[in-house]
Structure formats: structure tokens, C-alpha cells
Structure 1
Amino acid sequence: MSKLEMASTLKMINTLQDKEYMFYMTAFNIAPTIEGRKPACILTFSKKNRNLYDMWEKYKEEFLERFDIKAFHIKDTGDTHTVLFYKEAELHNQIFKDENINFLHKFGYREYMKLEECLNLLKERYENFCPHEIGIFLGIPLEDVKAFMGCTKKPCLSCGYWKVYYNEEEALQIFKSYDEAKIKVLEAVRQQIVLNSFNNNIKI
């Protein structure tokens, strides 16, 4: 899919009714996690513009069931709703990798904690600021999380889904994989819009 086709498809999505709009835009933004390429994605629904905040509240259960994905509500300001989307097994494996959980010790996470307890602790810490350890939940390599925290003076090599300080080539391949997942969603959406046949079974 070309950049022009991507832009055209996103414009088409913007003209859809609320349910279709929420389904398609959310699926597009969290596609790497839906596809199992990323342990989690974070998304904020706002009352501004199309009011995705209310749409999410109305259609969330149907959306989660359709895409076989889980959602954890991180923060609700009344005007915005920040949600962590994840696949349970993938996120559990990411958090409890030896190197990751050892790093997370300094923030209060422990090996014996259940995934839900880890998410609740993240939510508690997110209340006042965006905690650095969220990078681990989102699948960012530990070395890059540490570097972003200022644990090194190493310069940033590249910037995409995160700031890359180490293993640039590997990171760029991951970025490409995430982009491919998003394009896959847009291609499926474009086909359904052209056929004028919205249904919950977006083939991804």
C-alpha cells in the first residue's frame, strides 16, 4: 500500500459512522498487538473531535471480543481515557523475562506478582506521571529504556516507535514489522469500505 493509498483510506475512515470509525481507527493504532508482534499498545481516547471517549465506552466489549484482545484502563481524566491493549501471554512473557523483572524491581514489581497486580501498580504510578517502566510493557528493549532514562550519554541513533540507542538495525526491522501490521489493517478496511460492507469480522 502506497503512502497516498494509506492517506486516502484514513480519510475514508474519518467519514464513517461512529461504530465503524471506532473499530477501524482503534484496530489500526493497535495493529502490532492484535497481530502478536508487540506485547502491548497504549492508546488515549479523547472527547475532542469525534469523541472516541464515548464511542470506546459504548462499543469496547464488542471490539475486544472481536479482536481477542484485552484492555486495561490506565487513567481516566474525564475528558481522556488512556487504555493499555495487550495479549495476556505475550505481555506476561515480556514483563517476567529475567532481565526485565530484575530491572522492574526498583519500581516495586516482583516475580511473584500476577499480571493484574503488575498492571495495577503501573496504573497507580501512572496517576501522577508517565513512568519510564511502561517502555518494558510496550516491548521496548531494556537497553533503550535505560538509555532514555538517562542511564547513558550514548546519542540517539534513530527514532520511530521509540528512541533507539542500541541495535539500530534490529529496531528498524521491528518498526517495519509494526508498520506492516498497520498496513494490513488498512488494506482490509479499504476493501470493506469499497464494498460498503462493514461488519465486525475485519479480516486481518
Structure 2
Amino acid sequence: GVVSVDISRTFEAALVHQCAPTLAGMKPGSIFCFKHFSSETLRQKTSQWNEQLAPFGLSVRILLERPDSGSAIVYVYRPSHLKRILSGNAYRRFLSEAGYEDADLDGLLEQLAYRLRTQAEFPHEIGVFLGYPLRDVIGFIENRGRNFTCCGFWKSYGDPAETQAYFARCRRCIQTYVAMFEQGIPIERLAVPA
């Protein structure tokens, strides 16, 4: 009945609002928190969108499910884009030093999901899976989140002008996508093919 329509709307609305830059191809990955009503709905929605967005080079998976609080972290990403980034030597070295065993993308995501489940603190290396520049992820860890040059979608330790311009593009993308979605344009039409 009515409830399931609302649930579906919330999942889709969160997907567009939090993941627009990934849908638009500007970012390799985004996460959103989904307050769901049942594991069944969460799994059904995730697999439905994973299927519907696959032709555009996008994947959707559950990174963390907290049945006690009825919330989950859903990851929307572009596997080919992410593989390209993470295969770089600096990224591989960083992940290996962070304790990740060299694995394919699925293996790395399994390790990330395991850390999300078992660690009290949010694993900071998640930044590289969201397309944050490596220097910013390392800068955040080394500075414990302080001394950044600018702050928007993440804390940056690089050139503030360049980063601010990118943040502004992301914000415009989100505004445009949310407006289009609210006008009834389907998510598939918002997804840019890889």
C-alpha cells in the first residue's frame, strides 16, 4: 500500500540527492544512508537499482546494514572508473599500508564493508572509494581532520581554488538532478553512460 510507495520514494530520493555527481560521471563513487523499514525492502531496492543502472556502467551495493537502528549505507559506484583510479601505484601502496590485501575491486569492497561493520570509527580510507584525491585522504588522516585548506564535500589539503570550483560543480549537479527528479524525470535518464 501507501507505505511501500513512500519507502521507494525515500530510497530513490536519497540516491539522487547524495549520488548525483556519480550518476553524472563526475565522481567514481558516492554513499548514502537509507533509513529502511525492512531488510527485504533494502535488498530489493538495491538489487533493482543495481540492475537498472548496470547498462550505464553503475553498480549499487549495500556496504553496511544496521538492522538494530533500521539504517544502511548504500554505495553507488562506477566499477571501471574506480578500478582505473585504485590500480595506480600510490593508491595501491596507500591501501596496502592501511591493511588492505591486494585484491580485485570486489575484494577491496568486501574488506571495506568488513571494517564498516567491525570498527567503531568510520574508516577514513573510504575517501579513496568516493573519489577524494589521495592527498586529501592522507592529509585528513595525518592532520586528524584539522588544518585543511578548504572544506565542502570533503576536507581538502590541496589548492583551495581548484577544489572550491569542483565543489561548486558538484553542488550545481545535485541541484539540477534533484530538480529534474522532482519533476518526474526517471533516474535512468539522469545516469550518464560510462
Number of positions where the alignment pairs a residue of Structure 1 with one of Structure 2: 180
Identical residues among aligned pairs (%): 23
Q: Hey, what does 1:59 align to over in structure 2? A: 45
User: 1:149 is paired with a residue of what secondary structure?
Assistant: helix
Contact kept, 8 Å, 1:72 with 1:119, in 2: the verdict is: no
Cα deviation 1:6-53 (Å, max 9, x = unaligned): xxxxxxxxxx84433432331221111111111111111124xxx597
Instruction: State the structure with more CA Rg.
Output: 1
How far did residue 55 of structure 1 move? 4.7
Tell me the distance in 2 between the aligned counterparts of 1:147 and 1:200: 35
Tell me the distance in 2 between the aligned counterparts of 1:42 and 1:145: 16
* Greater relative CO, 1 or 2 (CA 8 Å, sep 6+): 2
How far did residue 71 of structure 1 move? 2.0
Question: In structure 2, what residue type is equivalent to 1:85?
Answer: V
Tell me the distance in 2 between the aligned counterparts of 1:162 and 1:109: 22
| TM-score between the two structures when normalised by the length of structure 1 | 0.76
Q: Hey, what does 1:117 align to over in structure 2? A: 107
Cα deviation 1:81-140 (Å, max 9, x = unaligned): 1122111101111222221111111123355x1111111111122221311111111111
Q: How does 1:184-203 map to 2 (within 5 A)?
A: 184-192=176-184, 201-203=188-190
Structure 2: gaps (5+ residues): none
User: 2:26 is paired with a residue of what secondary structure?
Assistant: coil
**Is residue 171 from structure 1 mapped to residue 163 from structure 2 by the alignment?**
yes
Q: How does 1:139-178 map to 2 (within 5 A)?
A: 139-150=131-142, 155-178=147-170
Structure 1: gaps (5+ residues): 1-15, 193-197
Contact kept, 8 Å, 1:133 with 1:145, in 2: the verdict is: yes
CA RMSD of aligned residues (A): 2.6
| TM-score between the two structures when normalised by the length of structure 2 | 0.79
Tell me the distance in 1 between the aligned counterparts of 2:88 and 2:176: 29
Tell me the distance in 1 between the aligned counterparts of 2:42 and 2:150: 33
Change (3 A) 1:188 1:66: farther
